[in-house]
């Protein structure tokens, strides 16, 4: 027991629910978002929709949740105060590397009707710039030669193969990650992997399985040790896996499920729609695009969190200009939505001082995020003849960030699946112009045509960052 924490461990106050959902990647976001929606839907309308989590990497989450019966506290962080909620929809957590066969058997259980995922962009083992399966990925190479997979696509394919062999209906695959057309992406990688394993299985998946697209939104900062202590003081029990979240939430779901089997998420505020795309583009570009922009420029400018960053007037002006001048003109609003109102609401969320969302955390995995969050807007803006100097500055800041050294000459802990290549490309060049050109050769991130179109303004922006620093560049942008 940690010093200062209550002796009593958090535990169930009601029996574990019957499982109907398997979730791959039981991290903080899903536990603060989809799990809460699901628990509320079961409370409102019933159904056997308990969740069994699966960790694809380590036993850390299992070890934290198992002694608590799978339950945890979700702490809402509002400007006016904090509100804890005891979430009890998760009944168990399996660790795939320890027993992949047990995970496959769970996913092949006829009681499981939906498999949800939050494995981050890199977990789909695809090429972010094209959406295609990355056949050179070591996990995919393994999964092509072994019946016991290690990747998320591998588990989906092998589990669906078991269900087909046993005469069972497929499950619905519901991705909850921030990818454009995320349902199409996961369907594509699953079908490509399945076709290389068993073409007949791929045909069956294509005909019978469903991969609805989704848009998810809730800011969920990383849990810190002091958060664990605060939760213990609030609830009088030790919870080693609490999650923090803002009050706002949104879940837009394409209503296309195998045999129409799903929880009644619509009864508790989720939006069930025919086409998620307008919502998805709005969120990926207006929220995630500016989040990433603020993360790189804010980190380089010495700001620890997003709320600290937008409290700086220069950055506040910068992000408002991004929305108004560069992102909104390149978006089609979902029906009944005002993009200007959405931007105002986003700024209020960013400025919430109770949310300590670190710029370093948001900056992770940028090579996987940039194509969806920023480069898509840039490509469309260029095609329409609209300049986007603010987004160019954000991409230049990413290039400076992945060089691994900050403005004070201190090392940056760059967390990215391509971190070594990014650093090598940056280090291979002498001046700023050559560093930009080297990084633009990274085809996983930059399509050749776009790279050629943005090279000159990127070089200028990068050299401004080097000469003047991030904050001065941001302040100059707004003048």
For position 180, what pLDDT does the model report? 84
Q: What is the CA radius of gyration of the chain?
A: 22
Contact status, residue 211 vs residue 194, Cβ threshold 8 Å? no
Q: What is the 3-state secondary structure (H, E, C) of 64-126?
A: HHHHHCCCEEEEEEECCEEEEEEECCEEEEEECCCCHHHHHHHHHCCCCCEEEECCCHHHHCE
How many angstroms separate the CA atoms of 417 and 350, rounded?
Answer: 27
For position 3, what pLDDT does the model report? 52
Q: Which fold is adopted by the domain 277-477?
A: 1.10.1040
For position 131, what pLDDT does the model report? 86
For position 5, what pLDDT does the model report? 67
For position 130, what pLDDT does the model report? 84
Q: What is the number of alpha carbons within 13 Å of residue 468 lying toward its C-beta?
A: 17
Query: Can you give the pTM of this predicted structure?
Result: 0.88
Class of domain 19-273: alpha beta
Residue 181 backbone class (left: φ over 0; alpha: ψ -120 to 50; beta: rest): left
How many angstroms separate the CA atoms of 197 and 244, rounded?
Answer: 41
Q: Where are the domains of the chain?
A: 19-273, 277-477
First to last CA, the chain: 54
For position 362, what pLDDT does the model report? 96
Residues in the chain, pLDDT under 70: 1-5, 7
């Amino acid at each position: 027991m940690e010093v200062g924490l209550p002796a009593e461990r958090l535990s169930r106050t009601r029996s574990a629910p019957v499982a109907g959902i398997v979730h791959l990647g039981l991290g903080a976001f899903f536990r603060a978002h989809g799990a809460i929606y699901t628990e509320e839907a079961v409370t409102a309308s019933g159904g056997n929709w308990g969740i069994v989590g699966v960790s694809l990497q380590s036993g850390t989450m299992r070890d934290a949740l198992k002694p608590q019966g799978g339950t945890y506290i979700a702490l809402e962080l509002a400007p006016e105060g904090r509100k804890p909620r005891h979430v009890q929809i998760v009944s168990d957590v399996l660790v795939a590397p320890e027993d992949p066969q047990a995970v496959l058997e769970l996913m092949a259980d006829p009681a499981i009707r939906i498999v949800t995922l939050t494995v981050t962009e890199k977990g789909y083992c695809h090429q972010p710039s094209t959406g295609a399966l990355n056949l050179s990925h070591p996990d995919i190479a393994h999964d092509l030669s072994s019946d016991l997979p290690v990747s998320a696509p591998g588990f989906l394919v092998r589990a669906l193969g078991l269900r087909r062999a046993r005469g069972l209906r497929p499950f619905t695959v519901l991705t909850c990650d921030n990818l454009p057309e995320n349902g199409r992406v996961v369907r594509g990688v699953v079908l490509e992997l399945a076709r290389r394993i068993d073409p007949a299985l791929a045909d069956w998946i294509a005909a019978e399985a469903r991969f609805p697209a989704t848009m998810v939104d809730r800011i969920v900062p990383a849990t810190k040790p002091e958060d664990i202590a605060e939760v213990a003081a609030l609830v009088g029990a030790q919870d080693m896996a609490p999650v923090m979240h803002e009050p706002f939430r949104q879940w837009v779901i394409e209503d296309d499920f195998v045999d129409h089997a799903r929880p009644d998420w619509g009864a508790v505020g989720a939006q069930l729609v025919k086409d998620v795309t307008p919502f998805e583009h709005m969120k990926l570009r207006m929220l995630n695009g500016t989040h990433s922009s603020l993360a790189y420029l804010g980190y380089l400018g010495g700001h620890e969190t997003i709320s600290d960053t937008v409290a700086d007037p220069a950055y506040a002006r910068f992000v408002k200009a991004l929305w108004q001048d560069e992102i909104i003109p390149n978006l089609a609003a979902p029906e009944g939505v005002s993009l200007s109102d959405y931007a105002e609401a986003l700024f209020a969320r960013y400025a919430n001082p109770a949310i300590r969302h670190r710029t370093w955390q948001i900056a992770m995995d940028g090579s996987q995020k940039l194509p969806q969050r920023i480069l898509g807007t840039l490509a469309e803006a260029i095609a329409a003849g609209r300049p986007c100097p603010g987004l160019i500055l954000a991409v230049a800041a990413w290039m400076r960030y992945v060089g691994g050294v900050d403005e004070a000459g201190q090392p940056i802990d760059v967390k990215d699946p391509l971190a070594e290549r990014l650093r090598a490309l940056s280090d291979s060049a002498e001046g700023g112009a050559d560093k930009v050109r080297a990084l633009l050769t990274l085809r996983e991130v930059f399509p050749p045509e776009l790279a050629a179109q943005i090279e000159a303004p990127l070089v200028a922006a990068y050299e401004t960052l080097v000469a003047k620093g991030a904050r001065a560049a941001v302040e100059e942008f707004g003048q």
